[in-house]
């Protein structure tokens, strides 16, 4: 892994990338949605547990089902987004560990241990959610990740069997850069980091 991305690539993923709330009227190809996951699944997780599950809402009707659960500030931008992804985690992710971590049977670390499952599942789905944002940017899409919704109601509406739990939402599409506000400040290295 001795290669470094170009400044252009780093700009696409980080420096120039922004969180979008306004969207161009342009559809997102299902091929790109699959491409995002094909990148996400390659990122590291604990025991390769891969607890992230993604539900892509690609129609206005499917996003209207989500509207009552959204905060006021998130409703309108979600209704006009080409795609809204519900990023969730599988509460029984450990059932797939024999496939995902075949060199050792680690299911006993999780079976009958709901608190450990929740900590591991939520943490690793959050990690995979970060990969999701980077992957979406890498395939040419803009993102609008957000909290500001009622998790319990989203879960009841979209995951009624209780196995999946929502983590966060992310609007996807082609953002209208003309409607971005100036970038908010970030902490400098010395404010956020130490080297011991």
Mean pLDDT, the chain cut into blocks of 10 residues (196 residues total): 88 96 97 98 97 97 97 95 98 95 92 95 98 98 97 98 98 96 96 98
pLDDT at site 168: 98
Burial class, 20, CB count within 10 angstroms (exposed 0-12 / middle 13-18 / buried 19+): buried
CA 138 to each of CA 57, 78, 128, 157: distance values in angstroms, whole numbers, following the listed order: 20, 22, 15, 31
171 by DSSP, 3-state: which?
strand
pLDDT at site 71: 96
Please give the span between the terminal C-alpha atoms of the chain, in angstroms, as a whole number. Answer: 25
Nearest CA to 19 out of 179, 166, 149 is that of 179
């Amino acid at each position: 892994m001795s290669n470094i991305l170009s400044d252009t690539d780093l700009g696409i993923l980080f420096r120039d990338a922004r969180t979008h709330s306004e969207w161009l009227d342009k559809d997102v190809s299902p091929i790109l949605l699959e491409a995002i996951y094909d990148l996400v699944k390659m990122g590291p997780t604990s025991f390769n547990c891969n607890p992230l599950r993604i539900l892509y809402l690609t129609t206005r009707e499917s996003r209207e089902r989500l509207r009552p659960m959204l905060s006021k500030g998130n409703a309108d931008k979600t209704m006009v987004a080409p795609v809204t992804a519900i990023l969730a985690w599988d509460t029984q992710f450990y059932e797939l560990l024999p496939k995902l971590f075949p060199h050792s049977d680690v299911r006993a670390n999780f079976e009958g241990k709901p608190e450990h499952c929740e900590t591991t599942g939520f943490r690793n789905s959050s990690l995979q959610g970060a990969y999701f944002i980077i992957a979406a940017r890498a395939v040419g899409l803009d993102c609008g990740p957000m909290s500001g919704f009622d998790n319990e109601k989203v879960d009841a509406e979209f995951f009624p069997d209780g196995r999946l739990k929502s983590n966060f939402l992310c609007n996807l599409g082609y953002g209208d850069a003309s409607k971005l506000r100036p970038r908010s400040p970030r902490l400098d290295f010395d404010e956020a980091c130490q080297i011991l």
